[in-house]
Structure 1
Amino acid sequence: MSRFVHEVPMRWSDMDAYRHVNNSAYLAYLEQARVAMFFDRHTGFEGGTIIARHEIDYLRPVVYHPEPLRVEAWIERIRGAGFTVRYEVKDGGVIAARALTLCVTYDFANDRPRRLTDEERDVLRSFGDDGSP
C-alpha cells in the first residue's frame, strides 16, 4: 500500500493580494485529490459521504507557476461511520502544507450517518501509508 498521488493545477486566480496562493484555494486542491482518490476510480462511495472537519497547516507560501502541485493522500484512521484522510501538498518536492479531512459516510434518505460497507473498508485500506509516495 502506498499513498495516492494526484497532480493539481493551480489557477492564476488562486493567488491573493499578497502574491501567493490564498489559503482558501487549498481546500479546493484537497477536494480535487479526494474526489480523484475515491469517486473517479471507485464506485463504492456512491451511498454518500460528507465532510465533518478540515485541518490545514501551511508550512510555506506557494506562488503560482504552470506546473501542478503534487497532493499525496492516504487514509490514517477508519472508524464505524467515518475515516480520516491525511494529505501533503508538495510544491517542487517541498511540503507546502499538511492537512487532514474527517469524512463521514452518510445516509441522505434517512438524514443520518451510516456504517461503512465492507467494500468501502477495502477501498480505504488500499490507501494506507507505508511512508513512501
Structure 2
Amino acid sequence: MEAALRDRYGVEGQWGLWREHTVRWAECDIYAHINHAAYLTLFEDMRIEWWLGAGGTFSPEAPGPVVGSLEVKYHLPGHFRDQVLLAVRTASFRRTSFVHQYGMWRADGGLLCSARALCVVIDNATGRKAEIGEPMRRLMAERDGAVAEV
C-alpha cells in the first residue's frame, strides 16, 4: 500500500489486499449509517478477492474457504457516501486453516470496523478439511506477513 493512501486513511501495518469503496445507500439503514450486515458482506467480498488472487478457485470439485468463526468490532459509525478503504490480510495459518483480519477506514476519519475470521479450507467434493498448498502458504507469509502456527 502506498504511503499517500495509508496516510489518507490512517492505516497501520502490513495488508495483503485493499481497495477503495464509496458507501452506497443499499448498504445503509434508514439513518444513513452503514448497516452491520453490509460490513460483513464487504469483508466477504475481500475474502473472495483474496482467495482468487492467491490462486484459489470456487467450484464443487475444488477446495475452498469456509468461515468457522467471526468476530466483529464496530469502532465508529460509517455513513452513506463515505469514501472508505477496505483491507484484508492473513494473520496466521495452519495446515488446513487460516485467520483473516479485515479493516474498514474512512478517509480522514479513522477505523470504522475491524473483524477477524477463522477460515477452514474444505474439499467441496468430500466435505473434509483440505491442506493449504505451499504456494498459498508462502504468499500468506511473504505478502501478508502471516505467521505459521503449529
TM-score bracket for the superposition, by shorter chain length: 0.7 to 0.9
**For the residues of structure 1 that align with 2:55 and 2:120, how far apart are their CA atoms?**
16
Distance of 1:103 and 1:49 partners within structure 2 = 6
The one of 104, 116, 124 aligned to 1:100: 116
Amino acid at match of 1:42: A
Q: Confirm whether residue 18 of structure 1 aligns to residue 35 of structure 2.
A: no
Shift of 1:45: 5.0
Deviations 1:32-87 (A, max 9, x none): 22222221x232455222111111100011111163x2012211111111000112
* 3-state DSSP of counterpart to 2:68: strand
TM-score norm. by structure 1 comes to 0.84
2:97 to 82, 99, 122: 82
Note if contact 1:2-1:127 (Cα within 8 Å) is conserved in structure 2: yes
Q: Unmatched 5+ residue regions in structure 2? A: 1-12
Give the structure, 1 or 2, with the largest relative contact order (CA under 8 Å, sep 6 or more).
1
Question: Among the aligned pairs, what percent are the same residue?
Answer: 23
Q: Does 1:58 align with 2:79?
A: no
Residue 75 of structure 1 aligns to a residue whose secondary structure is strand
TM (normalized to structure 2)? 0.75
Match of 2:128?
112
- How many correspondences in the alignment? 127
List, as ranges, runs of 4+ consecutive aligned residues in structure 1 with deviation greater than 6 Å. none
The farther-off stretch of 104-113 and 6-15 is: 6-15
> In 2, distance between residues paired with 1:38 and 1:109?
18
Of the candidates 4, 26, 42, which is equivalent to residue 54 of structure 2? 42
- Cα deviation per residue 1:84-127 (whole Å; 9 max; x = unaligned)? 01122101141001111111111111111112111221222221
CA RMSD of aligned residues (A): 2.0
Structure 2: which amino acid aligns with 1:37? W
Q: What stretches of structure 1 of length at least 5 have no aligned partner?
A: none
